[in-house]
């Protein structure tokens, strides 16, 4: 059989495009900001991870330009060879200090960072307890590690403990979870995770991709939010969100970081982060440390949007993060909502099955510290009007939802 047969038979995208419902790969003609030009149309962006608004900050942009002029466009090699710059080391030192950890190591992407950490720390004699709603990069990292994966029900600490009870005492145990779950905005139950860590001799790794810059008074993530920073053994983070750049990092005990640095294949065999990306991340970190008010602004604008949506009677998941999912329930209804909102100048992200259970499709909206209340008022009104206009295909599902609400 031709190995390409699956490609030739793949018609889902074609059908969505023919129905004018394809919601992906819209292209922007301006930089990431609260308002952007997308395919010739001015839109309000409530679908990015630019949580602190640094992607359009002139100070961050100028730092990138300066590094580009000084170091050139790329490093042409891995950190092991010719790819280490002084600014890589400075960024790692600054991050370690900010996160109250011994050491830090940067990698070229967030996805690669999870691959690099987990595949280095875990092996065939280890067990990884993984929240069912963890990011895809964590799942791929576990496969690469050859460790045994045990999934526990999402944020269900009782189920996690039942699974931990079954792990033999001679196995190494790593509990891995997102700190902020990227689709729902929910926060992990770190206090209970810490309790179980000590009870069963495990270690905790937090994927703080959506937590740093978001949680805690200074934006240090879930550890600061729960006042449990010393209990988090491994912190993974990205630069593509709050730090307005590209890349990732791990922060942990210096011996752990040293081990990853010298054994992690995804790290060893990848080119290092480009100079401009490093410089932008450093400047964003500097600005965050100097002005934690940005974190407070983010919380306030997110809370204001929740208030508006609730006022319209729109069902949302309650959390304290800038990620607000809005239920649309059916896949096609979700695609139509995205299309209609874009026509009205509002960009949101569709999340459909299998990324969600069937009948639980949603619009993923996310907010930025520099959004205005006026922008939120416009977006909330458009969301309300679009949802009211959209019929359900499944009338039984519609009746059940109305009864539940």
At residue 21, φ and ψ (nearest 5 deg) are: -120, 5
On the question of pLDDT at 239 being above 80, the answer is yes
- Residue 281 is predicted with a pLDDT of 98
Distance CA 201, CA 167 (A): 11
Q: Tens digit of pLDDT for each residue in 134-154? A: 999 999 999 999 999 999 999
Q: Tens digit of pLDDT for each residue in 184-233? A: 999 999 999 999 999 999 999 999 999 999 999 999 999 999 999 999 99
On the question of pLDDT at 180 being above 90, the answer is yes
Sheet of 234-238, strands arranged across? 103-107, 248-252, 234-238, 203-207, 172-178, 126-131, 148-152
On the question of pLDDT at 315 being above 90, the answer is no
pLDDT band at 392 (very low <50, low <70, confident <90, very high): confident
Q: Tens digit of pLDDT for each residue in 366-380? A: 999 999 999 999 999
SS3 127: strand
Q: What percent of the chain has pLDDT over 70?
A: 100
CATH topology (fold) of 9-45+293-404: 3.90.1150
On the question of pLDDT at 324 being above 80, the answer is yes
On the question of pLDDT at 405 being above 80, the answer is no
- Residue 355 is predicted with a pLDDT of 80
- Residue 394 is predicted with a pLDDT of 77
Q: Give the mean model confidence (pLDDT) for residues 89-103.
A: 98
Q: Beta-strand (E) ranges in 234-380?
A: 234-238, 248-252, 323-329, 346-347, 349-351, 361-366
What CATH number does the domain located at 57-290 have? 3.40.640.10
On the question of pLDDT at 51 being above 90, the answer is yes
Closest CA to 278 of 81, 50, 75, 53: 75
Distance CA 191, CA 228 (A): 8
Report domain extents, the chain: 9-45+293-404, 57-290
Annotated catalytic residues are 182, 210, 241
Distance CA 387, CA 272 (A): 45
Report the mean per-residue pLDDT for the chain.
Answer: 95
């Amino acid at each position: 059989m031709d190995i390409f047969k699956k490609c030739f038979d793949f018609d889902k995208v074609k059908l969505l495009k023919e129905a004018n419902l394809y919601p992906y790969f819209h292209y922007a003609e301006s930089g990431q900001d609260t308002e952007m030009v997308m395919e010739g149309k001015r839109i309000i962006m409530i679908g990015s991870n630019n949580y602190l608004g640094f992607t359009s900050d002139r100070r961050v942009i100028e730092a990138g330009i300066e590094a580009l002029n000084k170091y050139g466009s790329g490093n042409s090699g891995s950190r092991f060879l010719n790819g280490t710059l002084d600014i890589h080391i400075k960024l790692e030192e600054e991050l370690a200090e900010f996160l109250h950890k011994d050491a830090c190591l940067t990698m070229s992407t967030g996805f690669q960072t999870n691959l690099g950490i987990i595949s280095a720390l875990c092996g065939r004699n280890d067990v990884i307890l993984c929240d069912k709603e963890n990011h895809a990069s964590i799942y791929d990292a576990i496969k690469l590690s050859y460790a045994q994966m045990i999934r526990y029900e999402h944020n269900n600490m009782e189920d996690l403990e039942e699974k931990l009870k079954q792990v033999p005492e001679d196995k190494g145990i790593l509990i891995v979870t997102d700190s902020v779950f990227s689709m729902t905005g929910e926060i992990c139950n770190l206090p209970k995770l810490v309790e179980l860590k000590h009870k069963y001799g495990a270690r905790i790794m937090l994927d703080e991709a959506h937590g740093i810059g978001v949680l805690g008074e200074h934006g240090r993530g879930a550890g600061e939010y729960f006042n449990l920073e010393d209990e988090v053994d491994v912190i993974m983070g990205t630069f593509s969100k709050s730090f307005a750049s590209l890349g990732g990092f791990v922060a942990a005990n210096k011996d752990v970081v040293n081990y990853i640095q010298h054994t992690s294949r995804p790290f060893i065999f990848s080119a290092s982060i480009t100079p401009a990306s490093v410089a932008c991340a450093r400047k964003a970190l500097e600005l965050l440390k100097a002005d934690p008010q940005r974190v407070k602004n983010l919380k306030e604008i997110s809370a204001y949007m929740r208030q508006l949506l609730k006022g319209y009677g729109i069902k949302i998941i309650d959390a304290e993060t800038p990620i607000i999912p809005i239920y649309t329930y059916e896949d096609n209804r979700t695609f139509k909502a995205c299309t209609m909102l874009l026509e009205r100048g509002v960009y949101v992200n569709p999340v459909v099955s299998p990324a969600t259970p069937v009948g639980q499709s949603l619009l993923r909206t996310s907010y930025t510290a520099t959004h205005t209340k006026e922008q939120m008022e416009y977006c909330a009104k458009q969301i309300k009007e679009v949802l009211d206009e959209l019929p359900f295909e499944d009338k039984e599902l519609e009746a059940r939802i109305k009864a539940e609400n």
